[in-house]
A and B are shown apart, each in its own frame.
Chain A
Amino acid sequence: MPRETIPDGSFYMRVATLQSLTLALAGCVVLFSPRGVAQTDVETTIRFAPPKRIMAGDVFLGENRLYPSPAMHDVNGDGRADIVIGDLFGKVTVAPHTGKPMSYGAEEEVKDREGEQLKFHNW
């Protein structure tokens, strides 16, 4: 319906009401955001596809590790980045790149130069 055909100005009232409600709602979101939600001021247009679990061989990468922390690095020197996983205990494993796109093998221990598992100190 064209705006000018509403003689009582109800269209504009609706718009104004909608704007007020939107502002009030935005205010509530800011005021009552749960603890821990970032109060970021910068709008972002960065978007990602829904997340997918990465496999390491036949099992999920990092499954049941204590706070798994991934880092990409060519551990075996084949020119392809492997996925290194550190954890809260300080233990380090690697899922080697298989050579196929986005494909990684089963996790193995990362060894130090003495052949022992690389482990960072933790309490």
Chain B
Amino acid sequence: MGSQFVDFNADGHVDYLSATFDGSPHISYGSKGGFNEPVRLKDAQGQRILISSYWDYDERAHLKTDRALSKGNAPAERCISALAFDWDGDGDNDLLLGSYEKGHLYRQMNEGTNKEPKFTGKNLAVMAGKQPFALPAKMTTPRLVDWDGDGDMDLVAGSFGDSFGQSSVGGGVYLSRNNGAKGKPAFGKLETLIAPSAKGMTAPTRPDAGLYPEVVDYDGDGDLDLVVGGYSLWTPKGRELNAKEKAKVTALRAQLAALTGRRSKLLRKISAEVTEATVGLDPKSKEWRAKVKPIRAKYRPVEEERLAVSKQLKALVPGPQRRSFVWLYERL
């Protein structure tokens, strides 16, 4: 989820606008007593605002709809970021909606006011130069900031990259300058602020994937720095092993592979047993849980054995690490 603090409904209190992986923007309205419970933003027709993919809480499934895009058969894109932005300069907040999968940015116009918004329910593509705005390798969140000090809002956005692989390309941070005028923003081609990580380090040296940027004069020196959340992926350099230790590593790796295979088979077996044992039962019922518990209990001993071997192996050969932090990139 990205975060924007903005007086969305113009009541004099700062609100908290966000969007999550359920595919829709949510807002926590501020008040004298603090933030209220977040609610989902809706369009003028009373429907939840989205791009195309969304999590349906009733169906408990990811579904897709074409209703918010002008062309039918819309690609599956999930809105995981939202920003309030007066696109057309008419004094009310329109919405920018960021797509996870394609890194696209859409705008949805507000034909009402801030106090009584009427979002159209239709998304229009935001362009970057002559092409639709499209961040490479999936977008985390865009931010609005006057990067170049020319009085209008530019876009800074982060990308995910591969959030798991230790050697594939990671995420970066990009700038798209607004070269337009008030009420007619025109965003330019992407400039790379933080190049995508090549990964492969032996220590955490930077956010490698899932880069969520914030733009702020962090150190108070008059220029804009980046505060970036994200995952670092690294593999510590191990010590030199003697012959006996090397042999043990070989044996442990074989043992681990066998146990991992055994675990996979067991998981398939457990899944089949659960299905068979719970036919006709409500997954929320006590009966369902009573049937499932002893079946799932078979998993723990195998997994514990596997983890014990893995621990022995890691003591000799450090394994790949993946951990999230928040980093400061101080502007030079």
Contact = CB atoms under 8 A, between A and B. Distances in A.
B157 to A, nearest CB: 11
Contacts of A43: 191
B227 to A, nearest CB: 5
A111 B136 contact: no
Nearest to B14: A73
A121 B40 CA distance: 9
Interface stretch (B26-34, B86-94, B263-271, B273-281): B26-34
A101 B26 contact: no
Given A71-B214, A121-B40, A64 B323 contact: yes
Contact of A36 (B40, B161, B226): B161
A49 interface: yes
A114 B192 CA distance: 42
Nearest to A84: B3
A72 B214 contact: yes
Contact of B20 (A63, A68, A90): A90
Interface stretch (B66-74, B201-209, B236-244, B311-319): B201-209
A40 interface: yes
B40 A51 contact: no
B52 to A, nearest CB: 16
Contacts of A34: 168-169, 196
Given A48-B331, A120-B38, A122-B20, A62 B229 contact: yes
A110 B35 CA distance: 9
B175 A49 contact: no
Interface stretch (A6-14, A24-32, A53-61): A53-61
Contact of B2 (A38, A69, A121): A69
B5 A36 contact: no
Contact of A83 (B189, B205, B227): B227
B38 A119 contact: yes
Given A47-B332, A86-B2, A62 B22 contact: no
B294 interface: no
Given A69-B2, A90-B18, 13 more contacts: A36-B162, A38-B172, A42-B188, A46-B175, A51-B328, A53-B325, A54-B328, A62-B326, A69-B141, A70-B212, A72-B227, A111-B35, A113-B31
B212 A90 contact: no
A106 interface: no
Interface residues of A, number: 57
B325 A62 contact: yes
A41 interface: yes
B197 to A, nearest CB: 10
B190 interface: yes
Interface of A: 34-44, 46-54, 60-73, 81, 83-88, 90, 92, 101-102, 110-114, 116, 118-123
Nearest to B81: A69
Interface of B: 1-5, 14, 16, 18, 20-22, 26, 28, 31, 33-38, 40, 55, 57, 62, 135-137, 140-141, 159, 161-163, 168-172, 174-175, 188-196, 204-207, 210, 212, 214, 216, 218-220, 225-231, 323-332
B138 to A, nearest CB: 8
B37 A112 contact: yes
A73 B2 CA distance: 13
B3 A69 contact: yes
Given A61-B326, A62-B325, A69-B229, A120 B188 contact: no
A54 B327 contact: yes
A113 B33 CA distance: 5
Contacts of B229: 62, 65, 67-70, 85
A87 B174 CA distance: 21
A33 to B, nearest CB: 9
Contacts of A71: 2-5, 214
Contacts of B40: 121
Given A46-B175, A67-B140, A70-B212, A83 B326 contact: yes
A52 B169 contact: no
28 contacts: A35-B137, A36-B136, A37-B169, A39-B136, A40-B174, A44-B191, A48-B331, A50-B205, A51-B328, A54-B327, A60-B326, A62-B229, A64-B323, A65-B229, A69-B140, A69-B229, A71-B3, A72-B227, A85-B326, A86-B2, A112-B28, A113-B34, A118-B28, A118-B35, A122-B21, A122-B22, A123-B22, A123-B55
